[in-house]
Amino acid sequence: MKQLGKSRIFSMADEDFLIEAFAPVEGGKDAWRRIAFRAGNVDYLHEIDEKTSGITLKNGVTIPTTLPFAELKRQIFEPDTSTGNSIDLSLVTGAAVGAVAAVRLSKNFNPAAETAKAETKKPMEIIVFAHEARNDRNFRRLIFTDAMIDNFEAHPERKDSETYISLKKTLDDWDDFYIPLPLTTFTYYLDEAKRRGAPQLDLGEATRPKSTAALKMGF
């Protein structure tokens, strides 16, 4: 410890000192992982309350302890070199502080434990050739999104060849329609596209009618 006027400047007695402790698992409640780091990786210490304090590393990870601030400061900045070149805080970190309500709120206590906010997913565009329920020869090329689908199921009479799709709102004056694909096939294509995060599922060729005599193009 060095002194400068009335202010005291604390520095590591030996930055190569190894510190062992338990740190919060990112996004986990009352979950901890054992870590070891060099004393030189400590960014700062801070008080949580009269009985608990925390270590914040330079990479942003914060480790709560059951030590009062003064004691933690002594342990980290004025280590007892007679015991070797390591500091073991295993007994005062991890489960030992699990009951402290203040540290359970990892998003408030440990910014590094925050999980990344989920990105807002854009609706996936779906392209199909479809026919209306009352006229199975009146095909249209339709473009809609997965978010517009209300429900889908197998054709009541053509379960092995067509899928019925109902929309949440009218599209080109159609509320529902059929596509010439079995339900299992349509579901497979849809699920795979969603799993890959594809922006578009083009089933145009797969659902194109064999005859274009009564084909009505809808764009």
Q: Is the dihedral of CA 4, 9, 10, 12 positive or negative?
A: negative
40-98: pLDDT as tens digits:
888 899 888 888 889 988 888 888 999 999 999 998 888 777 766 788 999 998 888 87
Place of tokens 């329920």: 133
> What residue segments make up the domains of the chain, in order of their start?
2-113, 125-216
Place of tokens 């009564």: 214
pTM for this entry: 0.44
Contact 213, 143 (CB under 8 A): no
Tens digit of pLDDT at every position of the chain (219 positions)? 333 333 333 444 455 788 999 888 765 566 788 888 888 888 899 888 888 889 988 888 888 999 999 999 998 888 777 766 788 999 998 888 876 544 444 444 454 444 445 456 789 999 999 998 777 677 889 999 999 999 999 888 888 889 999 999 988 888 999 999 999 999 999 999 988 889 999 999 999 887 655 455 543
Q: Which of 191, 192, 188, 185 is nearest to 207 (CA)?
A: 185
Question: What does the angle CA 72 – CA 73 – CA 79 come to, to the nearest 5 degrees?
Answer: 90
Q: Which of 182, 185, 173 is nearest to 216 (CA)?
A: 173
